[in-house]
Copies of this chain bind each other. A is one copy, B any other.
Amino acid sequence: MGDLIGEVVQSELYYIKRNEFERVARLSASMPTAISLYADMARLNALYMIGLAGSGHIGSSFSALDIISHLYLSEMDRDGDVFFSSKGHDAPALYAVLIAQGVLEEGLLHKLRRLGGLPGHPDVSIPGLVTNTGSLGMGVSKAKGMIEAARALGVATRLYVMTGDGELQEGQIWESLVSAANRKMGELTVVVDHNKIQSDYSVARTSDLGDLEAKFNAFGWRTERVDGHDHDALARCFALMRQETLRPKVIIADTIKGKGVSFMEGVAIDSDVEMFKFHSGAPSAEQYLRAVEELEQRLAEKLYVFGVEPIRISVSPRPAAPAAVAAQVKLLPAYTEALLALAARNPRLIALDADLVLDMGLIPFRDAYPERFIECGIAEQDMVSQAGGLALKGMLPVVHSFSCFLSTRPNEQIYNNAIEGTQIVYVGGLSGVIPAGPGHSHQSVREISAVGGTPGMVMVEPCCPAEVGPLLEWCVDKHSGPSFLRLASMPYATGARLPNGYRPQMGKGYAVRDGRDGVIIAAGLLGVAEALNAAVLLRDRDRSFAVISLPWLNVIDAAWIAGVAALYPVLVTLDNHYRRGGQGQMVLAAVAEHAVARPRCLSLGLDVPPPSGRTDEVLAVLELDGAGIANRILHFLSA
């Protein structure tokens, strides 16, 4: 019976409707008490959204919620007042507050990370969100631009910007402090959500920023420190800061990651033996229930003194698990294994990471070779230039981050290294349109363009786990210049198989399916898998399409492409990337330049920023799933 109840309950999710927030706001409670209640209610809703979406940042949402609630309920009392979060991954917290405030319509509570819903990171298309964040370190600069605009247009404004503490490792933060002080931007208040834990470990362990107050003071900012969960203290601190009108201000708010649910609170990881478990990703069903119970109970206790009804909790069925899909494969474990094998025989190999040791599969490497592992923190420019120095002095650096960051933030640094002619391997994870939940700050669909034109740079992308090792080996052993290994992080089902005795040959692809009416040239786990799916669908329509996996993203062998062009009357390129500057454009240019035969050509890929959403719905709307690709090809053939 208990088990049965457990099962029933685990199939439910719980949230609080807007009218309950309104009821709390009408209580004759002191403002700090009301805000405290409100923040816990918003926690329950943020947890609901993340539970329903299956991913999202609980820890950072919870640490920020008292501050965000205070800002919306008490501090921001003028029309021109603006708040945004520079870190951006606390979006569920902000959404919960904006829904409670009536800025966002209530139905969006059920649409986190869904197509047409609320993106994983802030986007200006959503009411109440003033700037796109998720790429760290830009917030103060953006706020300064908004203040300059307000000054130019003669509009009164106050800007409130929340940053993470790990985010302060980004150089742009410090770059942006200087003119805020010189231009006397008293309109600006930055709140550091100082929860002491970043993506992997504590800030102190990752890249210790030391005395934050001393640093901000040295940059000419007015600095205060406050307990970010003490509503009386927050009220006093913001009131004090209002009086400072000639200097930009920073409030260093001591917070607790995961605050509000005892077992999620990241206070006991000072030893850094374990990683904090609630940075991103959804809790288990059991954890979810325990968290809801705890929040519900605290809400009841807080309301008890007012003699009113407890908060009404609404129930929503937990969505059914997605239909069973074919067995999915992962590239990251194969990467970890390949890196370890290479490190074992190459003592010059040294790995650098930017606070993604878990997400980039680096923990086994770090544990095996601690003396050849440099954790750089969220400081991609510094990391890449360090790699440059290492390479100049005889080491072989392998540099890790998500592709969206690695190809863009240190773009000039990668070029600077390249023109020194050294060998450096860049490894970018989370490449391509999926997972689409985090939104376009994290969907890396521009890296071929962004770094592919760098002289000497060779970019490769494996289409299955078995190809990861050979390609990494090629970068390490066969190539003397810079290379970029583009890795999909999302598990995916694929029918791709390597040819017998496969060895990478620069610029040349290989058939993973035969055909005679045309060929689809694609790269990577998603691209080749969906090209194969499309070919199966085309077969059903009596069109026989071959599929070629071309792991070389920015190098096309002239003779090879001429041979391919001679074989097929139709040539389709498929990019898990913007079409402009993507692999397809390189293939098509090579066809024009090198092929005598001239197949009809079609290029498929992205033209606009991809939406946030669930994998299936995003691929469908982009026509990058097998059905979409097949339809586009059929349409092309009939034109």
Q: Are A395 and B152 in contact (CB under 8 A)?
A: yes
A541 at the interface (CB under 8 A from B): no
Query: A304-333, CB under 8 A of B: which get 1 and which 0?
Result: 000000000000000000000000000000
Is the C-beta of A602 less than 8 angstroms from some C-beta in chain B?
Answer: yes
A530 to chain B, nearest CB (A): 20
Nearest CB of chain B from residue A233's CB, rounded to whole Å: 25
CB distance from A433 to the nearest CB of B (A): 13
Instruction: Give the nearest-CB partner of A183 in chain B.
Output: B374
A387 adjacent to B145 (CB under 8 Å): yes
Residues of chain B within 8 A of A217, CB atoms compared: 214, 218
| A446 close to B454 (CB less than 8 A) | yes
Q: Closest approach, in angstroms, between the C-beta of A231 and any C-beta of chain B?
A: 30
CB-defined contacts of A170 to chain B, threshold 8 Å: 171, 175
A181 at the interface (CB under 8 A from B): yes
A60 beta carbon closer than 8 Å to chain B: no
> Smallest CB-CB separation from A214: which chain B residue?
B218
Determine the chain B residues whose CB is within 8 A of the CB of A176 once the complex forms: 171, 379, 382, 385
Point out the residues of chain B lying under 8 angstroms from A598, CB to CB: 592, 598
A603 to B594, CA, bound (A): 10
Interface residues of A in 122-163 (CB under 8 A from B): 123-124, 130-132, 135, 137-138, 141-150, 152-153
Which residues from 360 to 378 on chain A have a C-beta closer than 8 Å to any C-beta of chain B?
371-372, 374, 376-377
Expressed in whole angstroms, the Cα–Cα distance for A138 and B319 within the complex equals 50
The CA of A148 and the CA of B220, in the complex, are separated in Å by 33
Asked if A389 is an interface residue, CB under 8 A from chain B, the answer is yes
Which of chain B's residues has its CB closest to A409's CB?
B412
Question: Do A385 and B419 have beta carbons less than 8 Å apart?
Answer: no
Q: How far apart are A421's CB and chain B's nearest CB, in angstroms?
A: 7
Contact of B419 with A132 in the complex, beta carbons under 8 Å: yes
Minimum distance in angstroms from A234 CB to a CB of chain B: 26
**What are 17 A-B pairs at a CB distance below 8 A?**
A132-B420, A138-B381, A141-B384, A141-B385, A141-B386, A145-B385, A148-B350, A153-B393, A172-B413, A181-B210, A218-B218, A419-B609, A449-B450, A449-B581, A452-B580, A455-B578, A584-B589
